[in-house]
């Protein structure tokens, strides 16, 4: 197991380098003047300022030199301090956010993490459970009901389902409003008496013993959470059901049944663990998708997370912000793939020797 994990960790720098090279190569379709927007904090007063930025960061130099400067930064000739550099967290300046991309991500990430935390547990837990129940009761009523549920959910566009629940549960009843907090709760959260430990509203509300703010945050989270859950349940249900049915047809399962083991033991000990390998892949990608910011859901419910910020930047042709988010999302995806690879080794010992 240790050797397997070390091999995967050694591949991590190579993967990250490949991803950064690809993203930087995409930027080469822009002219040096357009790429200078990565480093300009204000609207330049004249062309001389732009030319100075181009010379300082080597934007007119060979690709390798530009890539190295983009990664590690360069020294300001006036102050002598090192400036820029993706490895130092400098992802450029966001024109739409009117702040650095790093600050924009730090501002929007807690909201996305909060939505992801409240969504991923029911998505993975209930989705896998529904798939297992459908496979165990193959061609019976639970299986038929689960298949109808999956077909409807999988074919439902996210924005249509989001608008539907928004109309039914907010427009008609006013129960679950969009946004992140009500006006009164937002005032409480921004007051001096309310300590911001994590910037995750539900968690901070509990730590401050403000249960009214906690309940208000939950009301705002309900609709985007149920929208994400229903769409992802359909996908996980289908993957889990197919994988379980395939595992239940294997020879080792027939042998276990021939030994007289109960069906519960066969399912839990022999079938479920082997069937979860493809489910782990889908589950890992689902979690990454949630942490990256779900663009459509956050936009429909006016939720101030990373997805809505990315949608705004893309709509405004803010290339710097868009590429900064892409780089951040790619890093999350690489880390998630590493975790999934390690999880494979726990689910199937044969993976360790490949």
Phi-psi region of 196 (alpha: psi -120 to 50; beta: other; left: phi over 0): beta
Provide mean pLDDT across the span 26-46: 73
DSSP conformation letters of 169-231: IIITT-SS-SSSS-HHHHHHHTSTTS--SSS-HHHHHHHTT-HHHHHHHHHHHHHHHHHHHHH
Residue 151: pLDDT above 60? yes
Please choose, from the candidates 320, 307, 270, the residue with its C-alpha nearest in 3D space to the C-alpha of residue 111: 307
Confidence of residue 45 (pLDDT cuts 50, 70, 90): low
CA angle 251, 257, 260 (to 5 degrees): 145
Give the C-alpha separation, 194 to 210, whole Å.
Answer: 9
List of domains in the chain: 2-94 (no CATH), 102-353 (1.10.3720.10)
Residue 94's H or E segment, with its range, is: strand 93-94
Task: Compute and round to an integer the Cα radius of gyration of the chain.
Answer: 25
- 209 torsion bin: left (phi>0), alpha (psi -120 to 50), beta (else): left
Mean pLDDT to the nearest integer, 197-226: 94
Sequence-distant (≥ 6) Cβ neighbours of residue 16 within 8 angstroms: 331, 334
Instruction: Burial-class residue 176 by CB neighbours within 10 Å (0-12, 13-18, 19+).
Output: buried
Judge whether residue 125 has pLDDT over 70: yes
Q: Where is mean pLDDT largest: 33-37, 57-61, 119-123?
A: 119-123
């Amino acid at each position: 197991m240790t050797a397997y994990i070390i091999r995967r960790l050694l591949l991590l720098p190579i993967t990250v380098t490949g991803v950064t090279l690809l993203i930087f190569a995409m930027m080469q379709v822009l002219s040096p003047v357009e790429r200078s927007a990565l480093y300009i904090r204000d609207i330049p007063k004249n062309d001389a300022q732009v030319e100075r930025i181009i010379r300082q960061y080597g934007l007119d130099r060979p690709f390798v030199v530009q890539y190295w400067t983009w990664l590690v930064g360069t020294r300001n000739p006036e102050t002598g301090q090192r400036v820029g550099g993706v490895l130092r967290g400098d992802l450029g300046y966001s024109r739409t956010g009117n702040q650095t991309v790093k600050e924009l991500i730090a501002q929007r990430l807690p909201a996305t993490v909060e939505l992801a935390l409240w969504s991923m547990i029911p998505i993975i837990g209930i989705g896998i459970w529904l798939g297992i129940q459908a496979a165990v009761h193959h061609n019976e009523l639970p299986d038929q009901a689960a298949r109808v549920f999956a077909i409807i959910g999988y074919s439902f566009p996210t924005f249509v389902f989001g608008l539907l629940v928004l109309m039914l549960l907010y427009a008609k009843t006013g129960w679950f409003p969009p946004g992140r907090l009500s006006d009164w709760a937002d005032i409480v959260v921004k007051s001096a008496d309310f300590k911001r430990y994590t910037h995750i509203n539900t968690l901070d509300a509990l730590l401050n013993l403000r249960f009214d703010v906690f309940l208000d945050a939950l009301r705002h989270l309900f609709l985007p959470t149920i929208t994400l859950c229903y769409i992802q349940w359909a996908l996980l249900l289908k993957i889990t059901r197919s994988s379980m049915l395939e595992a239940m047809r294997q020879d080792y399962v027939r042998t276990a049944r021939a030994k007289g083991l109960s069906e519960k033991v066969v399912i839990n000990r022999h079938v479920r663990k082997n069937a979860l390998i493809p489910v782990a892949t889908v589950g890992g990608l689902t979690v990454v998708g949630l942490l990256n910011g779900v663009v459509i859901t956050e936009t429909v419910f006016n939720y101030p997370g990373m997805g809505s910020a990315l949608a705004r930047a893309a709509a405004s042709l803010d290339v710097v912000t868009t590429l900064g988010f892409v780089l951040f999302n790619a890093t999350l995806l690489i880390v998630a793939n590493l975790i999934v690879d390690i999880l494979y080794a726990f689910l199937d010992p044969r993976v360790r020797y490949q």
